[in-house]
Amino acid sequence: MDLQKILQDIDAHYDEMVDIRRYLHQHPELSFQETETSKYISNFYKELDIPHQTGVGGNGILATLEGGKPGKTVALRADFDALPIQDEKDVPYKSTVPNVMHACGHDGHTASLLCLAKALKAHQENIPGTIIFLHQHAEENPPGGATQMVEAGALEGVDAVFGTHLWSNTPVGTIETAPEAFFAGADAFEITIQGQGGHGAQPHQTKDSIVIGSELVTSLQQIVSRKLDPLKSAVVTVGTFEAGTTFNVIADTATLKGTVRTFSPDVQELVIREMEKHIKGVCTTHDASYQFNYMKGYPPVVNHPEEAAMVIEGASNTPGVERAHYVEPVMTGEDFSYYILERPGAFFFTGAQKEGHVYPHHHPKFDIDERALPIAAKTLFQSYVVYQQNHQ
């Protein structure tokens, strides 16, 4: 296998990567609704004459490239769903779909993986093992597409799995991963407080759900600061607080929604127990009732140390990568976790920060530096190469 020639061929597809990414950016689809995106991916593989399955666990796609030399089977994953956000960028490739945009880089993930497949197709006879190009739907919306694809058999026969996320927080040329815990588990909760509404001028005749909810918001923050070992990590965030209809009416009910982020099951269970105690305590004090719904979401992304080291080794030998290193875990969530609960593997960031463009992921003006696209593709492939070398 002429590794340098393959890497050069991946770079040669840069313009096509940009074109694909921008087309997908203009035509985003929400989680579990990505029918046209799935067709686009399928048609791409049809033109390459690469066998593939559609409808895997929903809108997922698996394409299989069997190399001409013996080796292991490795899956490389990219997601392709968008978010319910209005695109506010002033660019030619702005989303054409109202209130839907690729605000997290999934269009770039897809473009990188498709063009990697195209580059490798030309070298198929000289590639060891088998590559599964795993195109996943619905990463943004629990229960997520990963668990559905796993249940549908996406990892059958797979020895290892690698994935990347274009990351606007780090410069182009940077590859980041973690030897173990990388992304937090991402849960959601909803609390409904049932008070007793009434006239704004007669609060003594009411049970003010807004006052109760406000006290609860503050109380919940004490779970992390006063109940959790300072050497462990968790986040409890109330993201929405809905109550009331007008200025002179005390609200009958209030609804709080939020998220919890943890890295271990024991911390997760502690947070759930403490939330229940705080909610019950505050509502009981005010003689109000409540409903507490806690939804466990994606598990933490915990890399396998050997495969994480392979990412660093592969990236260190990849043209365009200036720095490959380990970083501290992040509190965001990712359903890539389901794959590496089943198989060895690792997830990594590919730096995609656009100079002078400071908008974060999930922002209406989110964008990436497209020079990161071939770096993502090459690093995925290099991780595959190192894995094959280590398992000869």
pLDDT at 392 exceeding the cut of 90: no
Residues annotated as catalytic are 81, 139
What are the chain's domains?
Answer: 3-183+300-390 (3.40.630.10), 186-298 (3.30.70.360)
What confidence score (pLDDT) does residue 40 get?
98
Q: Give the rounded percent of residues in the chain with a pLDDT score beyond 90.
A: 98
Do 20 and 115 meet the contact criterion of CB atoms below 8 Å apart?
yes
Note the pLDDT tens digit of each residue in 45-68: 999 999 999 999 999 999 999 999
The tens digit of pLDDT for each residue in 183-235 reads 999 999 999 999 999 999 999 999 999 999 999 999 999 999 999 999 999 99
The predicted structure's pLDDT at residue 358 = 86
pLDDT at 342 exceeding the cut of 90: yes
Is the pLDDT confidence value at 69 over 90? yes
Among candidate residues 244, 245, 239, the one with its CA nearest the CA of residue 257: 239
Cβ-contact 88, 392 below 8 angstroms: no
Between the alpha carbon of residue 220 and those of residues 91, 235, 243, the distances in Å are 42, 10, 18
Residue pLDDT, tens place only, 256-271: 999 999 999 999 999 9
Q: Could you give the CA distance from residue 354 to residue 352 in angstroms, rounded to a whole number?
A: 6
This prediction has a pTM of 0.93
Percentage of the chain surpassing pLDDT 70? 100
The pLDDT value recorded for residue 218 is: 97
What is the mean predicted confidence (pLDDT) over 287-314? 98
Q: Strands 174-177, 345-351: parallel, antiparallel or unpaired by DSSP?
A: antiparallel
How much is the pLDDT for 1? 86
Give the mean pLDDT of 338-361: 96
Residues 278 and 220: beta-carbon distance below 8 Å: yes
